[in-house]
Chains A and B, each alone.
Chain A
Amino acid sequence: MSAMQNTIRIDRQEIPFTPGQTIMDAALAAKVYIPHLCHYPGLPPSGNCRLCVVEIENRSVAACTTPAAADQTIRSNTPELNEARKALTQMLFVEGDHICPSCEKTGNCKLQAMAYYLGMLDDHFPQFYQRREIDASHPDILLDHRRCILCDLCVRASREVDGKNVFAIVGRGTKTHLIVNSPGGKLANSPIATTDLAATICPVGAILIKQQGYQVPIGQRIYDQHTIRETSLQEHIADCDKLKRKEHQDIER
């Protein structure tokens, strides 16, 4: 197979790929942004948020789980797909309690940043107002289920990178929820630590490190300075240690 054959076309742009890569892998490697929330390069993909839906012929697939194949013609950055992505973001907003002004994560939150990126101006759908609990049992880490978007990132990070298997997503339908894999189900009884990837990978304010609230002032936070498109093109698990060190430096400054 010649090198020429290993390309896909996303919105008319030719992008090379190596066999085994997904559409998302190939796109990110070529610095082509496909919006995503539940995907983090370096972790196995899940495909649950569906923000990365792209169209191949008339079929809609998740870019993060679909293998790249030679001569695929993919539509991604189209008005229709961006409208769908915006509606999916709105769905995540109404399903949980995402009240940005009262959330410590504001400015660092990917859901919020995605809403800005997609031009979301309102919730559109009615709020679910689900009763969900807060687990404040751990001395250093807070788990607020009301903001969880069930993206599975902490589950994968804990299992694949931290080697601890602290989290799982269980239940069905609207009762789907995150649980802590410990007797009694409390975070305090789990082996999670603030240095774990699972403690910091949460894209929203569901898992927060305690004692750090508002140390970086609003206005100087990640998405106050960058769009989610810019940051998402830089991310990789391998860089997480670097990222963490930078966050600490920011806080110290």
Chain B
Amino acid sequence: MTNSCQHNSFNLPQEHLLHRLHALQQEYLHISPQAMQQVAAEFNLPLSQVAGVVAFYSFFSAQPCGRFHILFSNCTSCGYLPDGQNLMQLLAQQLQVNPGKTRADGLISIGETSCIGLCDQGASLLVNGIPLTHLNPDKITQIAQQITANISTDKWPAEWFEIHDTIYRRNLLLTTQLAPGSALQQAITHGAAETLTTIQQSGLNGRGGAGFNTSKKWQLCREAPGDAHYVICNADEGEPGTFKDRVLLRHHAEALFEGMTICAFIIGANKGSIYLRGEYRYLLSHLQAVLTQRRKHGLLGRHILNHADFHFDIDIVVGAGAYICGEESALIESLEGKPGIPRIRPPFPVTHGYLGQPTVVNNVETLIAAAHIVAHGSSWFNSVGTQKSTGTKILSVSGDCLSPGIYEYPFGVRIQQILGDCGAQRVQAVQLGGPAGKLIGAPDFNHTISFEDISTGGSFLIFGHQRDLLTVHRNFAHFFAHESCGFCTPCRVGTQLLKSNLDKIAEGHGTTNDIETLKQLAFLIQHHSHCGLGHTAANHVLDGLQHFPQVFAAHLNQHFVAQFDLDQALESARQITRRDDATAHLD
């Protein structure tokens, strides 16, 4: 395995495979079999690897998309179903196109995509990759007019594309901007070992949700033998409901790069990468501009801050629509130009990561925190928070509340307080840490956000009393079935079965037995899957059955209902014969 990776990297052209494919997709609106063969030859890769990458990532397609390619978010917060409206259907009707199919004249295609991280901006979509926010029926009509008139998106009203970041609460990380180079200078002055000790004393744990101790990770990587060491920033924030990294990347990129550079200094890396989710491609030019500035100021490149032996640079690799790439070993696979299928662990990335070499993969927020800690000292950090969860947590708050946005709290904050601060009233449930996290009801609102109580990567979804929670569960189940990488049986098949089972219950065809099947499926997926996606994909169902059993029970049928819907089975026959009259139906 390792040998073939090294071999590939040796022959890799400068351009990343994902970027090459993205360029082809942009130019030709799809990636044809001929194009795949050409790319395979260019990159000296088996055709199957290129075909595998095209088939794996949502933003590549083998069939031509429209010249206007619109992807609606299907997240519960920034999705196309706000307040009982169906904005996707509205646009599809106005443009006479079926979602999922390109219109015959090739002008338009409409589809849906997993959360695009705009949950504080109202219903949102991506048009040719560019985000468009605050959708409503009026705006949909105007969009349809622009498209019908074939007006290119750069001539659409600029305010449609505006994203307003609102930070309602600032604490350690969001109060101050780090002066470029200030933390790095501290690190170089005190040396790698002492700087690592500072981070260790701060008690910093990873902010992605798993909470692994950051200094431990860096130490293990530093000590691991290898030809090279790598720092990777996981900016593939794909958990529905989280958008804090979007805000951090827009406003605190300097601190992020500073954190990565300090990490490189400690572990002995010359190269770092940011894996930016494809949905955030619009942040690329800003990030590249900041990188260029830092190179100019001697904060990246050779002889950083005139240090004789410290050379380090950062490149940005943009993903192409795959939630699973937020899992660190899948992310590394993707960086290596492969489908994002999580690796067998152990070995872990700290010893065998990118190209088989020792690699640190950290969350955006973790790296920014690390930079601040080195600049301000460990006690500046660990005097805030709880004993086991030092510092602060940045939350992406969205859903049924008055003030969706960014909130930075010391660890240990009670959920009740957050709900009060963001103006959420008559709250039925909160989904903490996104669909993969934890669903809680009012009796648990006195719990705290912390590693010792309820841990979260930052997604904080609020569901008011009027929400049908079963619809939420269906949304989550569809999300996981769509995002399962397909590698292992329990996740690939199990998430599909979970989805169809919830659909069945919601449609009124469920019986008590289906609740048992839900439990069985959830247990299988949770316990026997290959990676974290599977381990967490059924959490929401188990939490829902525990805290909100009535949500499921209310939809159950008291009598036997056949699994097989005979009338539905006639649908394809009706389509072929173009009949939909009463006698073409069974009842």
Judge if A98 is at the interface, Cβ distance under 8 Å: no
Residue of B nearest to A55 (CB): B527
- Let me know if B56 and A172 touch, CB within 8 A: yes
In the complex, which of the residues A65, A126, A185 has the most CB atoms of chain B within 10 Å of its own CB atom? A126
**Which of A62, A94, A173 interacts with B530 by CB under 8 Å?**
A62
Contacts of A47 in B (CB 8 A): 344, 488, 530
Residue of A nearest to B563 (CB): A126
Contacts of B530 in A (CB 8 A): 47-48, 50, 62
Contacts of A87 in B (CB 8 A): 520, 524
Of A4-12, A174-182, A204-212, A240-248, the one contacting chain B is A174-182
Of B174-182, B348-356, B489-497, the one contacting chain A is B489-497
Contacts of A45 in B (CB 8 A): 344
**Given A88-B490, A173-B482, A174-B481, A60 and B527 touching (CB < 8 A)?**
yes
**Which of A67, A91, A168, A182 interacts with B489 by CB under 8 Å?**
A91
- Let me know if A92 and B493 touch, CB within 8 A: yes
Q: How far apart are the CA atoms of A183 and B36 in the complex, in Å?
A: 10
Judge if B322 is at the interface, Cβ distance under 8 Å: yes
Chain A residues in the interface with B (C-beta under 8 A):
44-45, 47-51, 53, 60, 62, 65, 67, 84, 87-88, 91-92, 94-95, 125-126, 128, 150, 165, 167-176, 179, 181-185
**Which of A53, A126, A179 interacts with B500 by CB under 8 Å?**
A126
**Given A67-B346, A126-B563, A168-B46, A50 and B529 touching (CB < 8 A)?**
yes
Contacts of B485 in A (CB 8 A): 172-173
Residue of B nearest to A58 (CB): B527
**Given A126-B500, A150-B486, A173-B484, A165 and B527 touching (CB < 8 A)?**
no
- Let me know if B339 and A165 touch, CB within 8 A: no
Taking the nearest CB of chain A, how far is it from the CB of B575, in angstroms? 15
Q: How far apart are the CA atoms of A175 and B527 in the complex, in Å?
A: 23
Annotate B520-549 by CB proximity to A: 1 below 8 A, 0 otherwise.
100010011110000000000000000000
**Given A91-B490, A91-B494, A92-B493, A50 and B528 touching (CB < 8 A)?**
yes
Minimum-distance CB pairs A-B, first 10: A176-B486, A168-B48, A91-B493, A170-B52, A181-B48, A170-B55, A171-B55, A173-B484, A65-B344, A60-B527
**Given A87-B520, A168-B49, A174 and B528 touching (CB < 8 A)?**
no
Contacts of B517 in A (CB 8 A): 125
Chain B residues in the interface with A (C-beta under 8 A):
1, 33, 37, 46-49, 51-52, 55-56, 322, 339, 344, 346, 481-490, 492-497, 500, 517, 520, 524, 527-530, 563-564
Contacts of A62 in B (CB 8 A): 530
Q: How far apart are the CA atoms of A36 and B524 in the complex, in Å?
A: 17
- Let me know if B56 and A171 touch, CB within 8 A: yes
Residue of A nearest to B490 (CB): A50
- Let me know if B488 and A48 touch, CB within 8 A: yes
Contacts of A53 in B (CB 8 A): 527-528
Contacts of B524 in A (CB 8 A): 84, 87-88
**Given A88-B489, A88-B524, A94-B493, A181 and B46 touching (CB < 8 A)?**
yes
Contacts of B563 in A (CB 8 A): 126
**Given A47-B344, A172-B56, A92 and B481 touching (CB < 8 A)?**
no
A47-B488, A53-B527, A84-B524 known; 11 new pairs, CB 8 Å cut-off, are A48-B489, A49-B488, A50-B530, A60-B528, A88-B489, A125-B517, A126-B564, A168-B46, A170-B56, A171-B486, A173-B484
Q: How far apart are the CA atoms of A248 and B23 in the complex, in Å?
A: 52
Taking the nearest CB of chain A, how far is it from the CB of B28, in angstroms? 19
**Which of A49, A84, A91, A92 interacts with B527 by CB under 8 Å?**
A84
Q: How far apart are the CA atoms of A127 and B476 in the complex, in Å?
A: 22
Contacts of A92 in B (CB 8 A): 489, 493
Contacts of B492 in A (CB 8 A): 95, 150, 173-174, 176
Contacts of A176 in B (CB 8 A): 486-487, 492
Contacts of B52 in A (CB 8 A): 168-171, 179
In the complex, which of the residues A44, A51, A169 has the most CB atoms of chain B within 10 Å of its own CB atom? A169
Contacts of B483 in A (CB 8 A): 172-173
Contacts of B55 in A (CB 8 A): 170-172, 175
In the complex, which of the residues A87, A92, A172, A182 has the most CB atoms of chain B within 10 Å of its own CB atom? A172
Taking the nearest CB of chain B, how far is it from the CB of A58, in angstroms? 9
Taking the nearest CB of chain A, how far is it from the CB of B459, in angstroms? 22
Residue of A nearest to B34 (CB): A183
**Which of B339, B346, B486 interacts with A174 by CB under 8 Å?**
B486
Contacts of B486 in A (CB 8 A): 150, 171-176
**Which of A48, A84, A165 interacts with B46 by CB under 8 Å?**
A165
Residue of B nearest to A184 (CB): B33
Contacts of A128 in B (CB 8 A): 496
Residue of A nearest to B497 (CB): A125
Q: How far apart are the CA atoms of A53 and B482 in the complex, in Å?
A: 25
Q: How far apart are the CA atoms of A175 and B485 in the complex, in Å?
A: 9
